[in-house]
Amino acid sequence: MEGYPVRFRDPVHGFIHLSPRELKLVESRAFRRLRNIKQLALTYLVYPGAMHTRFEHSLGVMELASRAFEALQSDQESKRLLQKTLKKIDMKIEDATTLLRVTALLHDVGHLPISHGGEDILRRAGGGRAAKHEQVSIAIIRETELSKILERDFYAGIVRHVALLLGEGEPPPELLILKKLISGQFDADRMDYLSRDSLHCGVGYGNFDYLRLLETLRVRASKEGGLELCLERGGIHTLEAMILARYWMFTQVYFHKTRRIYDIYLSRYLNAWYDNQYSDLLHVLNYDDLKLMNDIIEDAERRVGGGDRKKYAQRILERNHHHVIYETGDHADAEDAQVAIAVEKKLQEEYPKIDFILDREAGGKVHKFFVRGDEEYGDEFPIYNTVSDHYSRLSEESSILEKIPRAFNVIRIYADVRKDELRDYRKAADNIKEKEGMV
């Protein structure tokens, strides 16, 4: 590709091309660290192939964001609107492309070791205030060599623009379209991780025709003065497939019962491990999965002491985990939570020597689109019919969308018992539920 002579061979997207100045960002200390941050934490303990990292994911997001922006420009009306809108802030298409690519490339540069598992202690570092890896990314982009590279080799003011797109305040309406391509209802980030995670886990759940989805993207003027993302009617089925892919990956990979127990061990280990290591957000740069796993190994092998650090380190290192003895359906509500809490309390009373763990956090939003007949508010989305030259709404066009659950949530009780004892403890949990009139 002209202007992008540097290339990486990627197992998902083929060749990914970069410019020499983009390569400087990739070769920075901050970005190199992502080679040692696994995309899915300890998921490889369940799916052995899940060894991929935030490094290749970030390259993939940049690639898909670029393809999406190119697809918008292939439609003459969308290109005209892009040029007209960007002109309001004295920005050319070329600079917008640069900004989009750089933001997509650096969006995860502040990720903590062990993926999202470390964000709990990031909140502790912030005195209990909500903190996420995006805030770390912004700090790293602003306060490390990345800032110098960006301002010197790209264009003046790009650091501020990148920070805005990553969540530091509200970007001007004219730049919102770029933000939506990176973090929206169906963004480059989501398209990449679904496809990439599916490939490396050896499952087919996350596969969908994202190239078709990209080719059907359009824009139109929004009420706020910027642009809103639209979809040609021919891309609806692919959008539905992407939402289904996300739902299936939730059920089969991201909240897999064994994967979840290792998330819990990680969280508990990290809370015991943390000793103000992240007092400054830039201190995150001093840690990656290799360093943290070395600490886990050392803690697991301690001869004396160690407390929770040793206990959970050994769990992780020896792959010695609790087993599920009670589980709700995939759409647990408040009543299901109350029942699970009551069952776990009774189990603890009847079996005081057994360690039980109640997990109520296995779940998340599948999508946030508006669905007819659902009282919960959601985002409406414009659909363009190329035949009639008419816009409609996604909720009017998709009958499948309203059948896809908007959220996934399963509640489980784990017990530290042998596999040959599971049947007895599962029966005990069922008996408690029945005895207490919870069925």
Model pLDDT, residue 186: 83
Q: Are 58 and 108 in contact (CB under 8 A)?
A: yes
Split at pLDDT 50, 70, 90, the class of 439 is low
Q: Are 91 and 174 in contact (CB under 8 A)?
A: yes
Q: Are 229 and 184 in contact (CB under 8 A)?
A: yes
What's the whole-number mean pLDDT along residues 25-34?
A: 97
Q: Which two tokens stand for residue 22?
A: 């983009």
Give me Rg for the CA atoms of the chain: 24
The dihedrals phi and psi of 366, each to the nearest 5 degrees, come to: -80, -45
What's the whole-number mean pLDDT along residues 418-432?
A: 95
Assess whether pLDDT exceeds 50 at residue 73: yes
Q: Residue 392, exposed/middle/buried by CB under 10 A (0-12, 13-18, 19+)? A: middle
Task: Say what percent of the chain tops pLDDT 90.
Answer: 80
Of 154 and 114, the one with more pLDDT = 154
Q: Are 90 and 11 in contact (CB under 8 A)?
A: no
Split at pLDDT 50, 70, 90, the class of 316 is very high
Q: Find the range with the poorest average confidence among 22-36, 220-234, 241-255.
A: 220-234
Q: 435: how many CB neighbours lie within 10 A of its CB?
A: 10
Q: Are 197 and 245 in contact (CB under 8 A)?
A: no
Q: Please compute, for residue 19, the number of CA atoms within 13 A of its CA located in the half-sphere on the CB side.
A: 14
Give the integer Cα–Cα distance in Å for 66 and 288: 28
Split at pLDDT 50, 70, 90, the class of 370 is confident
Q: Which two tokens stand for residue 193?
A: 């991780």
The dihedrals phi and psi of 3, each to the nearest 5 degrees, come to: 90, -15
The DSSP code for 196 is: H
Model pLDDT, residue 378: 80
Residue range 137-172, pLDDT digits in tens: 999 999 999 999 999 999 999 999 999 999 998 899
Q: 7: how many CB neighbours lie within 10 A of its CB?
A: 12
Assess whether pLDDT exceeds 50 at residue 362: yes
Split at pLDDT 50, 70, 90, the class of 130 is very low
Q: 217: how many CB neighbours lie within 10 A of its CB?
A: 22
Assess whether pLDDT exceeds 80 at residue 123: no
Within its chain, how far is the Cα of 137 from the centroid? 15
Coil, strand or helix at 48: coil
CA distance from start to end of the chain: 63
What's the whole-number mean pLDDT along residues 71-100?
A: 95
User: What is each CA distance from 138 to 127, 303, 332, in whole angstroms?
Assistant: 19, 41, 36
Residue range 257-315, pLDDT digits in tens: 999 999 999 999 998 988 777 778 898 999 999 999 999 999 999 887 889 999 999 99
Q: Are 277 and 283 in contact (CB under 8 A)?
A: yes
Give the integer Cα–Cα distance in Å for 389 and 411: 47
The DSSP code for 171 is: P
Model pLDDT, residue 422: 96
Assess whether pLDDT exceeds 80 at residue 17: yes
Residue type, 70: E
Q: Strands 6-10 and 14-18, how do they pair? A: antiparallel
The DSSP code for 333 is: -
Residue range 324-357, pLDDT digits in tens: 999 999 999 999 999 999 999 999 999 999 999 9
The DSSP code for 326 is: E
What's the whole-number mean pLDDT along residues 170-191?
A: 92
Residue range 190-210, pLDDT digits in tens: 999 999 999 999 999 999 999
E strand spans, 264-311: none
Q: Are 119 and 112 in contact (CB under 8 A)?
A: yes
Q: May I ask the CATH architecture of the domain 6-257? A: Orthogonal Bundle (1.10)
Q: Are 68 and 207 in contact (CB under 8 A)?
A: no
Give the integer Cα–Cα distance in Å for 93 and 242: 28
Model pLDDT, residue 214: 94
Assess whether pLDDT exceeds 60 at residue 407: yes
Give the integer Cα–Cα distance in Å for 167 and 338: 36
Of 339 and 375, the one with more pLDDT = 339
Model pLDDT, residue 435: 83
| Residues forming a β-bridge with 323 | 415
